[in-house]
């Protein structure tokens, strides 16, 4: 049911945004007139906060926000490494509690559904862009480019779709270990990124411009601080939990591959930020200051 809700949300978001863009171009009124219009507007509101809402719903499902925060930033897999992990042996994590009622489970399911919907939306949009590119350039041209340069031409599309499929599979077929271990860190990372980005934008508009050194160098490092637990937890999810998990509808090896694909993407992002983007930004900032001082 949760997967169906996520799919319905993702499709509604794509349809609603396309419809909204059409109305904006035609100058049509945006006032909802029918129950369907109201439902689409509500879904688009959820889309606008889809990186904040999962964290809020997850906090509502937790025993306490402090326990949830502790679970997000610490690495504790409860001895899963080297042990057979059956669906019967998996217990509720401490942050959820063992006697959580219907309402808390509903908040937890809603949090996962909204998070998964954003990943499904991204997957559908990536596939839609690929189909549109084939229509625009023609299948013959696509195949010719792939034959000439299979890595350079085919890898970005393959990896873009594979990564998004991996995220959906982890959040659907392997959702119980994922919820126990990595989900709090994932939603905290996305929530903090959303909050910081919007706070920066608000500060720039209402108060004053943020210093370049803070905006270019400090904030990316702050983002990494809450991103590293995600990298570690997803990696250990594939290493210690999924190989022994027998409660999924797919083979454990497929779940392991999906977790490691996600980890590879996270490692690439970490490497790019630390060793490429930040040094380049620091050199550019230094050159700008030196040039300004020389003038």
pLDDT for position 121: 95
Say how far residue 130 (Cα) sits from the centre of its chain.
21
Q: Answer whether 210's CB lies under 8 Å from 200's CB.
A: yes
pLDDT for position 295: 41
**88, pLDDT greater than 50:** no
Could you tell me which residue, 19 or 121, shows the higher pLDDT? 121
d(CA 253, CA 173): 12
d(CA 88, CA 223): 37
Could you tell me which residue, 183 or 157, shows the higher pLDDT? 183
Number of domains in the chain: 1
> Could you list the residue range(s) of the whole structural domain that residue 145 is in?
49-294
d(CA 48, CA 45): 5
Q: Answer whether 144's CB lies under 8 Å from 84's CB.
A: no
pLDDT for position 139: 79
Could you tell me which residue, 36 or 194, shows the higher pLDDT? 194
The average pLDDT across 265-283 equals 93
Residue 231 lies in a domain: yes
Report CA torsion sign: 89, 90, 96, 99. Answer: negative
Query: Residue by residue, what is the 3-state secondary structure of the chain?
Result: CHHHHHHHHHHHHHHHHHHHHHHHHHCCCCCCCCHHHHHHHHHHHHHHCCCCHHHHHHHHHCCCHHHHHHHHHCCCCCCCCCCCECCCCCCCCCCCCCCCCHHHHHHHHHHHHHHHHHHHHHHHHHHHHHHHHHHHHCHHHHHHHHHHCHHHHHHHHHHHHHHHHHHHHHHHCCHHHHHHHCHHHHHHHHHHHHHHHHHHHHHHHHCCCCCHHHHHHHHHHHHHHHHHHHHHHHHHHHHHHHHHECCCCCCHHHHHHHHHHHHHHHHHHHHHHHHHHHHHHHHHHHHHHHHHHHC
pLDDT confidence tier of residue 155, bands split at 50, 70 and 90: confident
- If one counts every other C-beta atom within 10 angstroms of the C-beta of residue 174, the result is 26
Q: Answer whether 173's CB lies under 8 Å from 250's CB.
A: yes
Mean pLDDT of the chain: 85
The average pLDDT across 57-86 equals 74
pLDDT for position 82: 43
262 exposure class (CB count in 10 Å sphere: 0-12, 13-18, 19+) = buried
Residue 134 lies in a domain: yes
The average pLDDT across 131-153 equals 80
Q: Answer whether 237's CB lies under 8 Å from 259's CB.
A: yes
Could you tell me which residue, 158 or 54, shows the higher pLDDT? 54
Residue 32 lies in a domain: no
Residue 39 lies in a domain: no
Give pLDDT tens digits for 18-36: 888 777 676 666 566 788 8
pLDDT for position 292: 65
pTM value surpassing 0.85: yes
Q: Look-up: residue for tokens 């992990």?
A: 85
d(CA 3, CA 55): 18
Give percent of the chain above pLDDT 70.
90
Give percent of the chain above pLDDT 90.
44
**74, pLDDT greater than 60:** yes
**191, pLDDT greater than 70:** yes
**46, pLDDT greater than 90:** yes
pLDDT confidence tier of residue 195, bands split at 50, 70 and 90: very high
Residue 75 lies in a domain: yes
Pick the range with the lowest mean pLDDT from 132-136, 271-275, 289-293.
289-293
pLDDT for position 186: 96
Residue 20 lies in a domain: no
d(CA 265, CA 165): 13
Q: Answer whether 59's CB lies under 8 Å from 83's CB.
A: no
pLDDT for position 97: 80
pLDDT for position 10: 94
Residue 194 lies in a domain: yes
Residue 259 lies in a domain: yes
Q: Which two tokens stand for residue 208?
A: 């004053």
């Amino acid at each position: 049911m949760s997967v169906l809700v996520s799919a319905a949300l993702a499709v509604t978001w794509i349809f609603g945004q396309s419809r909204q863009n059409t109305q904006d171009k035609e100058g049509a009124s945006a006032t909802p007139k029918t129950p369907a219009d109201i439902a689409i507007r509500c879904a688009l509101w959820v889309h606008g906060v889809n990186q904040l809402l999962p964290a809020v719903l997850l906090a509502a499902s937790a025993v306490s926000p402090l326990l949830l925060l502790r679970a997000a930033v610490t690495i504790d897999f409860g001895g899963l490494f080297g042990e057979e992990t059956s669906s019967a042996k998996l217990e509720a994590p401490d942050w959820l509690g063992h006697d959580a009622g219907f309402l808390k489970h509903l908040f937890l399911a809603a949090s996962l559904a909204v998070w998964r919907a954003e990943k499904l939306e991204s997957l559908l949009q990536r596939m839609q862009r690929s189909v549109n590119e084939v229509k625009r350039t023609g299948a013959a041209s696509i195949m010719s480019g792939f034959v000439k340069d299979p890595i350079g031409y085919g890898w970005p599309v393959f990896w873009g779709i594979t990564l998004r499929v991996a995220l959906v599979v982890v959040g659907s077929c392997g959702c119980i270990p994922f919820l126990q271990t990595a989900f709090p860190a994932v939603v905290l990372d996305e929530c903090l990124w959303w909050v910081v980005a919007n706070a920066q934008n608000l500060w720039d508009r209402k108060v004053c411009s943020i210093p370049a050194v803070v905006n270019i160098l400090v904030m990316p490092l702050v983002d990494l601080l809450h991103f590293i637990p995600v990298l570690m937890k997803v990696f250990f999810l594939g290493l210690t939990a999924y190989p022994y998990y027998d409660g999924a509808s797919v083979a454990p090896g497929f779940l392991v591959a999906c977790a490691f694909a996600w980890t590879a993407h996270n490692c690439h992002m970490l490497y790019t930020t630390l060793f490429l983007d930040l040094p380049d930004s620091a050199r550019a900032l230094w050159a700008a200051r030196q040039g300004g001082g020389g003038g």
